[in-house]
Amino acid sequence: MTVQETTPQEPFGARLRRAMDARGPLCVGIDPHASLLHAWGLEDDVAGLERFSRTVVDALADRVAVLKPQAAFFERFGSRGVAVLERTVAEARQAGALVVMDAKRGDIGSTMDAYAAAFLDPGSPLFSDALTVSPYLGFGALEPAVAAATANGCGLFVLALTSNPEGQEVQRAVREDGSTVAATVLRHLADRNAGAEPLGSFGAVVGATLGDLSAFDLAVNGPLLAPGIGAQGATPADLPAVFGGAVRNVVPSVSRGVLRHGPDTTGLRDSAISFADEVRSAVG
């Protein structure tokens, strides 16, 4: 598959700010897990995967700000599933959505270089607008991804305060200087985004279900990808209490709450528009 981009783009943060202002602050996940395929009347195979992904892209890519395919649900089908992911990314971007690849990659040295090349190099068939990454081999180990994102107008969303209970044993652990690991990640992001306008390109993943986060400085001058809206229990009305003064930079992420309305195209669109309107109303 030929990828169009060969030169650096406008920074991701600027493109994201414009997309959210124009289309509404919402990210819809593309999570084709087996139970959802079956709920749509599809088989849990590559043909079902293809039909599911194309339906979501056709319904939403020209009207939502961000689409977020979860790489694992495509990779489980091997090379044929990855081929579907390549087409999904390309078609979503061509229709005007920003694509965040939810792959949560994190490694060191040449391996991190390779992950960056796979998702953040314009010559790659998986080239995406942004990538989720894990900082738990040390934030500095992400430097190849940071460099690639900077060079190619892409962004990163770094795991900081995730909604799964197991995450707390690492993210809220206290370092020798008295700061938590999550606070350290957020500080690194603020440093990377310093001076960026209208929004930095290096964001954090912060769960919308976590309640009061006033102990953490979420003002990183970058986007905050917030999973947990919809089926996981959080609502748009919860966002101001969770994110405080940083709420305008939140990118709420909903998957099942929208996808359960498929395969009907109108149902998918109406649900996404409703969520985006609720978020707009909640965050002002």
Residues with a catalytic annotation lie at 104
| Residue 160, token pair as written in the block | 């900081």
Cβ atoms of 218 and 246 closer than 8 Å:
yes
CA angle 266, 102, 228 (to 5 degrees): 65
**C-alpha closest to that of 144 among 190, 102, 106:** 106
DSSP state of 10: S
DSSP collapsed to 3 states, 202-270: EEEEECCCCCCCCCCCCCCCCCEEEECECCCCECHHHHHHHHHHHHHHEEEEECHHHHCCCCCHHHHHH
213: left (phi over 0), alpha (psi -120 to 50) or beta: alpha
- C-alpha angle 229/73/186, rounded to 5°? 50
Task: DSSP for 88-124, please give it.
Answer: HHHHHHHTT-EEEEEEEE---HHHHHHHHHHHH-TTS
Give the residue carrying structure tokens 């090379």.
79
**Which residues touch 280 (CB under 8 Å, ≥6 apart)?**
24, 25
